[in-house]
Structure 1
Amino acid sequence: MLFCPECSAEYTSDVSICADCQAELVPERPPEDAAEYIDWEVVQEIPNEFVGNLIKGVLEGEGIDAMVRPHEISALGGIRLESEWGEILVLSDQVQNAKIVIEDYLANLPADALENGDEDTEEL
């Protein structure tokens, strides 16, 4: 048996080129890539979903991958596990940049801008 090094397709020994990739076949199946584990780290606690999505958008606007993770368990009627509503996570290699972006963003907001995040958004 021969195998395509690009797509791992299997061929009989009378074929030498992959019909799909046009790559030269090899006698051993190429190793499968191991799934890459991605570390996410918390960079900011958030008081509500509105603020979380706002900060997430600011980070993504700066090219930083971010996600919002709520502390509520929806299956239990929205029971909150922490004092804050949730948190912002970013990839571990983007933590420093994310903290700088968040700090700069929050420093330029009026002091009470995020207190009523889901009620009053005009100042943001």
Structure 2
Amino acid sequence: MTPNPNETPAAVDQAKPKLMDRLQAFILRYGMLALVVHYAIFGLCLVGFMVLIRAGFQVEGAVGNASTFGGAYLACQVIKIPRFAATFALTPLLDKLIRRLRNKGPNPADPPAGP
């Protein structure tokens, strides 16, 4: 019997979860760690852009400081998507590192390893 090309095997039939479902699973799994990582990346970007703006321009006084902060904030908003990508990439790595340092073993929410 020849297989029908229109029929798909059961393993291939499972669709990839929607983006919102994956985001909710990520937040449920990592919770506060994901928020801390995201805001730490935001803070580092903000301070980094402020330093870069200050290094390139001579601004004085409160108006200069406000414009430095405003420019740095706008630059952080421009790189919002890469910041989210970095959050999604770094959070699982930091979770594994923290668990290893605490000697708690694998996360119980992790899928079982094996075939």
Structure 2 length-normalised TM: 0.27
Larger radius of gyration: 1
Instruction: Indicate the structure with greater strand content.
Output: 1
Structure 1 length-normalised TM: 0.25
Relative CO higher for 1 or 2, CA cutoff 8 Å, sep ≥ 6?
A: 2
